[in-house]
Amino acid sequence: MPYAATLADALEPLLADPARAAVLLDVDGTLAPIVRDPESATVPELTRRLVNQLTKRYGVVGCVSGRRATVARRIVGIGSIPYAGNHGAELLPRGAAEAIVDAEAGRWGARVRAVADSAGAERMRTAGLRREDKGPIVALHWRGADDEARAEALARELAEEATQAGLHVHEGRRVIELRPPVPIGKDAAVRRLLAGTDVDTALYVGDDLTDLDAFAGLRGLVQEGRLRCAVCVGVRSEETPEAVFGAADLVVDGTDGVRALLEALVA
């Protein structure tokens, strides 16, 4: 499907047979607007209602997030859909109290936290670097710091230590994640959400580099014959990496554009 596809063209495969279609959605920057304080992020009520309506029509509706799955569920505010958290390292089934954590990733959690601990709480506070512990992953955020350059410098120093310790490092928008050296990505997340379901078409909507893995995951399922069609939608903002636009079948403008897309899906 070409990048220039219209909204109607892009959604036609899903609208043709909604019961056999999946709608998979990133959270931050897609459903929830990006805010200075990530802890205050929330999905607008109108968007939440639209996602609820999707569940009554489509075969699978789920969310994929870099946050912990339980945190993503709190932000979205819907307990009746599954969530893949930590970029696929966690799966929170519908209505479950706790997420299922990938066992191999979980075994590395202590080593990941040890690298983050090496900076010391006082140094982190002084630099304005915010630490987010996510089980097997630690995220280092400098969005909103008084001196973002100083906070970023400390994050990159810790990232270098993590690399030397044999860990993986992944960079997003004003955040660096310290990860276990095991396969973690939204490609695995979309596969886990679709496993055992009776769908042959899937749509994914996202706005960051990690969402490229989800695009690749769905397209891989098409190549394998598991899906008949995959639709990959990028969300445009001032911070969206150019690579997202290049990989998307369709681009919408911000969270308002996502809401319009959801409205078209439930119309």
| 254: enclosing H helix or E strand | helix 254-266
| 62 three-class SS | strand
Helices (H), 133-208: 148-164, 186-194
CA–CA distance, 200 with 197 (Å, rounded to integer): 9
Q: What is the pLDDT of residue 6?
A: 85
CATH number at residue 134: 3.30.70.1020
Residue with tokens 């909604």: 18
| Pair (109, 98) in one structural domain | no
CA–CA distance, 105 with 176 (Å, rounded to integer): 17
CATH number at residue 232: 3.40.50.1000
The residue among 159, 179, 199 that closes a domain is 179
| Pair (166, 203) in one structural domain | no
Q: What is the pLDDT of residue 87?
A: 87
pLDDT grade, residue 43 (50/70/90)?
very high
| Pair (72, 171) in one structural domain | no
Taking only the tens place, the pLDDT of each residue in 163-185 is 999 999 988 888 999 999 988 88
CA–CA distance, 55 with 74 (Å, rounded to integer): 17
Q: What is the pTM of this model?
A: 0.85
**37 labelled catalytic:** no
Do the domain assignments include residue 216?
Answer: yes
Do the domain assignments include residue 1?
Answer: no
| Pair (220, 170) in one structural domain | no
Cα separations in angstroms, 250 against 11, 34, 188, 233: 10, 21, 22, 5
CB 91 within 8 A of CB 84: yes
| Pair (173, 253) in one structural domain | no
Task: Check pLDDT > 70 for residue 5.
Answer: no
The residue among 164, 179, 194 that closes a domain is 179
- 9, 17, 26, 211: the catalytic one is 26
Per-position b or e across 45-71, b if 16+ CB within 10 A of its CB: eebbebbebbbeebbbbbbbbbbbbbb
| Pair (41, 167) in one structural domain | no
pLDDT grade, residue 135 (50/70/90)?
confident
Cα separations in angstroms, 221 against 90, 189, 210, 224, 229: 20, 12, 18, 5, 9
